[in-house]
Amino acid sequence: MAAEGNSEGRAAARPMLTDLYQATMALGYWCAGRACDPAEFELFFRHCPFGGAFALAAGLRDCVRFLRTFRLQDEDVQFLASVLPADTDPEFFQHLRSLDCSAVTLRALPEGSLAFPGVPLLQVSGPLLLVQLLETPLLCLVSYASLVATNAARLRLIAGPDKQLLELGLRRAQGPDGGLTASTYSYLGGFNNSSNVLAGQLRGVPVAGTLAHSFITSFSGNEVPPNPMLTTAAGGSPKVDLAASVKLWLEQVCACLGLGVQEPHSGERAAFVAYALAFPRAFQGLLDSYSVRRSGLPNFLAVALALGELGYRPVGVRLDSGDLLQQAQEIRGIFRTVAAQFQVPWLESIPIAVSNNIDEEQLARLAQEGSEVNIIGIGTSVVTCPQQPSLGCVYKLVSVGGQPRMKLTEDPEKQTLPGSKAAFRLLASDGSLLMDLLQLAEEPPPQAGQELRVWLRGSQEPSIVRPAQVEPLLRLWLQEGQLCEPLPSLTESRAFAQWSLSRLSPAHRQLKSPVQYQVALSEKLRRLADSLSSQNAP
């Protein structure tokens, strides 16, 4: 298979990003003459994350990219030879060199789909040795992507539809790859943009950012701008000395606010002027480097009003410390007062952005009715998923040579469901979600209006359901290595995720003590699982 040449393709995981036991099992299959036995694995999770009742499926695009570029290089095989027994058959290593995914078939939930425990996110079929080797990389690509997308979706549900959410967790992420993944899939989960430039370059995530405290504190106030002259927004002449204009406006602003003209920090003002000269159409004031009320706010207003005379409009202010909700309310009040004093109505609606280790509880407070906060920057709480750092996805064998396989174990919760399966979402007449249904792939699909006898997971008695609508869940993306349909763009998957979440009932969508969504088995799948369990019991 030809490797993808674009920059996004180069960001895919490498085949050697795996666990050693995948290679030792591969050798075991080879020695047993079973390398090419047809096999199927399923990738799924057992519990919804964060104590919620849903997850968002993510990482499919990365998985497809990985499979289409999968190839062990000479140096990869040489390293494997150094950690496997010295008397390993050289033909085994030749086989590894020949491997690609041209014989692999992939079915999966579309990115942004609602996902529930036990329902496959991926179904991977192909030669046993090869699809075994794919386990760890696929888990790595799907687990964290789905976790962070779900975390972002929870934060979006708390924030509501109108607040802008900015992901700025790159510096807090678990390494560069974790940072790129978090920025990508927090956007899919509902964030508006990211501070991560690489996510913008490679993945098309909208990027945003202005300035930090270091920029402001680097100015003392003695600096003279090399070119303080600024033309009007319309491009007319003459140019205006922005620094001089700001100084005049500062006197009026301080008089309006009851401050002495010497109180605002001159270095902060110089920094604001410098930034406004560089970005007259995108000026934002970071207000808390010194004192919000006595320095940051009057300095911002002076620059904003000077820009306003020239036809420019500031894009906002940002707060990064203190009681963010209370300060935002006070600032909005001052904006209204100053707007009325100087007859500049645009000042009333300047966006207020906040950041500072915001978690779910703080976000709920900032998003409450009456809040004057417009933009919320979240870093650590979205990228590190502190409530649950892992989704716990697993990749389990379900058939070999067309025969079902089942893991029993000492823990009933870790038992797997045998056989190649199909998955369907059953809906009521009003379009609400009833349950997901797993059945054997050989069974005819359920029909709308047809009465079904199903077994809810964990139930000892069957249930009867008559769905008004039936939706197949798993789509065919790769067949024998060939892409079957174009992958949606990240923006399209983001929109699909928001639509998917809108279909959840309030009882399933609530973040604390939600009603758990039901997943059911068909009668035939239940009987097969019971039969194999009895046959393999000691």
pLDDT of 464-473, one tens digit each? Answer: 999 999 999 9
- Which of 16-31 are b and which e, b meaning 16 or more Cβ less than 10 Å from the residue's Cβ? eebeeebbebbbebbe
First to last CA, the chain: 45
Look up residue 45 and give its two tokens: 């999770």
Which amino acid is located at 113 in the chain?
Answer: S
Give the count of domains, the chain: 1
Q: pLDDT per residue over 12-67, tens digit each? A: 589 999 999 999 999 999 999 999 999 999 999 999 999 999 999 999 999 999 99
Residue 441 falls inside a structural domain: no
CA dihedral for 222, 350, 318, 260, sign (positive or negative): positive
**305, 338, 339, 384 from 343: Cα distances, Å:** 11, 8, 5, 46
Q: How far apart (Å, rounded) are the C-alpha atoms in residues 462 and 232?
A: 74
Look up residue 312 and give its two tokens: 């420019």
pLDDT band at 5; cut points 50, 70, 90: very low
Q: What is the CATH number of the domain that holds 356?
A: 3.20.20
What is the rounded average pLDDT of the residues 250-273? 97
For the ranges 28-42, 182-196, 354-368, 397-411, the lowest mean pLDDT is seen at 397-411
Residue 318 falls inside a structural domain: yes
- What's the pLDDT at 412? 82
Burial of 102 (0-12, 13-18, 19+ CB in 10 A): middle
Locus of tokens 């590894």: 96
- What's the pLDDT at 6? 55
Q: How far apart (Å, rounded) are the C-alpha atoms in residues 114 and 130?
A: 29
Is residue 382 helix, strand or coil? Answer: helix
Query: Is the bond preceding 238 in cis, omega lying within 30 degrees of 0?
Result: yes
Look up residue 111 and give its two tokens: 């990115």
78: which residues sit within 8 A by CB, 6+ positions away?
none
The closest alpha carbon to 168, from 204, 138, 205, 119, belongs to 205
Look up residue 311 and give its two tokens: 């036809």
What is the pLDDT of the chain when averaged over all its residues? 95
pLDDT band at 237; cut points 50, 70, 90: confident
Which amino acid is located at 134 in the chain?
Answer: L
Residue 398 falls inside a structural domain: no
Residue 228 has pLDDT above 70, yes or no: yes
**26, 107, 131, 136, 405 from 36: Cα distances, Å:** 11, 20, 10, 19, 17
pLDDT band at 3; cut points 50, 70, 90: very low
Residue 362 falls inside a structural domain: yes
Look up residue 494 and give its two tokens: 């983001």
**30, 71, 80 from 127: Cα distances, Å:** 11, 15, 20
What is the rounded average pLDDT of the residues 334-342? 98
The closest alpha carbon to 98, from 129, 72, 64, belongs to 72
Which residue range(s) make up the domain with 237? 215-381
Percentage with pLDDT > 70 across the chain? 97
Q: How far apart (Å, rounded) are the C-alpha atoms in residues 248 and 243?
A: 9
**φ, ψ dihedrals at 102, nearest 5°:** -70, -10
Residue 33 falls inside a structural domain: no
Which amino acid is located at 6 in the chain?
Answer: N
CB 10 within 8 A of CB 203: no
To the nearest 5 percent, what fractions of the chain are helix, strand and coil?
40, 15, 40
Q: pLDDT per residue over 88-140, tens digit each? A: 999 999 999 999 999 999 999 999 999 999 999 999 999 999 999 999 999 99
Residue 138 falls inside a structural domain: no
Q: What is the DSSP letter of 207?
A: B
Residue 408 falls inside a structural domain: no
**Strand segments (E) across 248-341:** 284-286, 316-319
CB 216 within 8 A of CB 296: no
Q: How far apart (Å, rounded) are the C-alpha atoms in residues 181 and 144?
A: 8
162: which residues sit within 8 A by CB, 6+ positions away?
none
Residue 462 falls inside a structural domain: no
Q: What is the DSSP letter of 308?
A: H
126: which residues sit within 8 A by CB, 6+ positions away?
38, 39, 101, 103, 104, 105
